[in-house]
Structure 1
Amino acid sequence: MTRSMTAFARQEAEHEWGSLSWEIRSVNHRYLEPHLRLPENLKELEGFLREKLRKTLSRGKVECTLRFHPEAQVQQLVVNQDYAKEVIQAAESLQGMMKEHQPLDALELLRWPGVMQDVKLDMDLVKNSAKSLFDKALDDLLEGRGREGVELANLINQRLDSISEIVAEVREKMPQILQNQRDNLNQRLEELKAELDEARIEQEIALIAQKADVDEEMDRLDTHVQEVRRVLKQKGPIGRRLDFLMQELNREANTLSSKSIVASTTQCAVELKVLIEQMREQIQNIE
């Protein structure tokens, strides 16, 4: 399946301890180039995320941004009941030694070190949630790249159809073009026949026909078109292979242009080069 390198994905999740959100953007690039933006307390995830990207994607500049907003309620007040009882018992025993008894102040007890417990956020839980959410965002990114890849493949196939039509047109025209060239040359040489050897004339006509023969180029163009169609159906990264095939198609189009002996074939060669360049531009976005 053809996949584009351009896509965007966003995933959010709400938990009792806070919220997480991932944004992943990818654009075309010659190699895989990940850029990670993580909160300081989640930097430990970087190695895992890079490995995940390496196993999932082959090419593209990929920007991954994680946002984490902890809930204020996470810092709730929790009393250490057992310790508080010990403090109260100690305070009551001290009161028995005192001449004046004063009631215990609950607020003062709360200020006593150790009575209040800090509830700390379980960062392992946050990290696991961030990993799971990243997997979902990455799946969305792949779906987006796949959808755009299908559109790119359709555009390329349309241009391949046009190339095949042009090749068929040139094939159809070439016998008549060569015959017209032969007739024109014969006409120009008619008055010089007495001075020129008939065999030499035929030799020159054959040489012109040989130089103008583009059957080989037409065959290679057809072969390359078939190969591009085959590659578009393959799984995995295909962008570099397609880029190479564009170079080969362009080479044949240039050869056709150089062998052109009439304006119509020159125009066909120009149209071929335009179509190939359009495909090449689209292929720059294919993984």
Structure 2
Amino acid sequence: MSLTAVASMTGFARARGNLGPWAYAWELKSVNAKGLDLRLRAPPGFDGVEIKARAAASARLARGSVFINLTAKRAEAEGTARVNRAALDRLLAALDDVPLHASLRPASLDGLLAIRGVVEVVEPEDEEAQRAALEASILAALDLALDDLLSSRRGEGAVLAAVLQERLTKIGALVAQADAAPGRQPEAVRQRLAQQVARLLEASEALDPARLHQEAVLLAVKADIREELDRLKAHVASARKLLADGGPIGRRLDFLAQEFSRETNTLCAKSNDAGLTAIGLDLKIEVEQLREQVQNIE
């Protein structure tokens, strides 16, 4: 068992908390991405928290499109009423210049105070120490949410690793079948080439038998899949080692999956035996399924 687990890029986590009049909550979710794409939202006034949260997430996540959302709400509190004397003085000065009609009553104090902007309600503000404690508490909750997100991603990663091991086992078995296929044995190859040369000679007596045999040997060399089989075996071993080592191995597994696909396509292209071609097609199916699963690995 590896000390560093294989992780998926898909996960979800929440963390809530409160301090004094404040209640807050983090929500984190991540999906597949080629690199690390952090999308963080925080309410106004929490710019400092947003910067530190982005740094904390970047330090713990290697890949994935990660959505991080912070909500924070202060409990209802009574504000302090304050008369805006400057606004009231300007209003009174403006009224002095307005002649009153006989049917109008002079402005009253309660009427003036009801005008918007004359009386202001000042909301309570956190002291610097209280604000620092609140931000520290919010960031501590983010660490817990990141723990849960990583645990979620590792849980799915363990399932994916088991699926990939199963695919690698099937690929290894198909490679062994291809290696032992009767159609690639020297005697079978010799018989096919002899039959092809015979058919060509029957079609035209002008052809040089020696030259035909020479060309047939060259074709046999080009059609040999020994190199592709050896590479496929090496790729299976490399993929198993990556899974055993764990950690952020998704990019390297993706590269190996592309190499699997290339070698399998070459094997199918070189095959001139029906049985070997059938094995190659089964290999292509397993490799494609491997590539699909690898896209989820961090």
* TM-score normalized by the length of structure 1: 0.76
Separation in structure 1 between the aligned mates of residue 148 and residue 248 of structure 2, nearest angstrom: 18
Residue identity in the other structure for 2:9: M
Separation in structure 2 between the aligned mates of residue 226 and residue 20 of structure 1, nearest angstrom: 48
**Counterpart position of 1:267:** 278
1:223-264 Cα shifts (integer Å, max 9, x gaps): 011101111222432111111111111111111011100122
Contact 1:75 1:120 in 2 (8 A): no
Separation in structure 2 between the aligned mates of residue 65 and residue 51 of structure 1, nearest angstrom: 15
Separation in structure 1 between the aligned mates of residue 190 and residue 24 of structure 2, nearest angstrom: 77
Structure 1 unmatched ranges of 5 or more: 78-116
C-alpha spacing 1:199/1:126, structure 2 compared with 1 (3 Å): same
Determine which of 123, 126, 145 is the counterpart of 1:137: 145
Residue identity in the other structure for 1:24: L
1:164-220 Cα shifts (integer Å, max 9, x gaps): 011000111156654234224435656969x78876565455334322211111000
Q: CA RMSD in A?
A: 2.7
Separation in structure 2 between the aligned mates of residue 174 and residue 157 of structure 1, nearest angstrom: 28
Determine which of 194, 197, 217 is the counterpart of 1:206: 217
**Counterpart position of 2:113:** none
**Counterpart position of 1:221:** 232
- 2:73 aligned with 1:62, yes or no? no
- 2:290 aligned with 1:286, yes or no? no
Question: How many pairs were matched up?
Answer: 246
- 2:248 aligned with 1:234, yes or no? no
Separation in structure 2 between the aligned mates of residue 245 and residue 119 of structure 1, nearest angstrom: 60
- The alpha carbon displacement at 1:43 in A equals 2.2
- The alpha carbon displacement at 1:11 in A equals 1.0
Contact 1:22 1:65 in 2 (8 A): yes
Determine which of 145, 148, 163 is the counterpart of 1:155: 163
- The alpha carbon displacement at 1:69 in A equals 2.3
**Counterpart position of 1:186:** 194
**Counterpart position of 2:111:** none
**Counterpart position of 2:26:** 22
**Counterpart position of 1:100:** none
- The alpha carbon displacement at 1:27 in A equals 1.0
Separation in structure 2 between the aligned mates of residue 160 and residue 26 of structure 1, nearest angstrom: 27
Residue identity in the other structure for 1:224: H
- 2:174 aligned with 1:166, yes or no? yes
Q: Percent identity?
A: 39
Taking the TM superposition and a 5 Å limit, the aligned residue runs for 1:42-53 are 42-53=46-57
Contact 2:183 2:275 in 1 (8 A): no
C-alpha spacing 1:189/1:123, structure 2 compared with 1 (3 Å): closer
C-alpha spacing 1:173/1:157, structure 2 compared with 1 (3 Å): same
Contact 2:197 2:216 in 1 (8 A): no
Separation in structure 2 between the aligned mates of residue 60 and residue 174 of structure 1, nearest angstrom: 46
Residue identity in the other structure for 2:42: L
Residue identity in the other structure for 1:19: A
For 1:261, what is the secondary structure of its paired residue? coil
Structure 2 unmatched ranges of 5 or more: 81-121
Contact 1:214 1:259 in 2 (8 A): yes
For 2:180, what is the secondary structure of its paired residue? helix
Residue identity in the other structure for 2:39: H
- The alpha carbon displacement at 1:71 in A equals 2.2
C-alpha spacing 1:249/1:118, structure 2 compared with 1 (3 Å): closer
Separation in structure 2 between the aligned mates of residue 247 and residue 171 of structure 1, nearest angstrom: 21
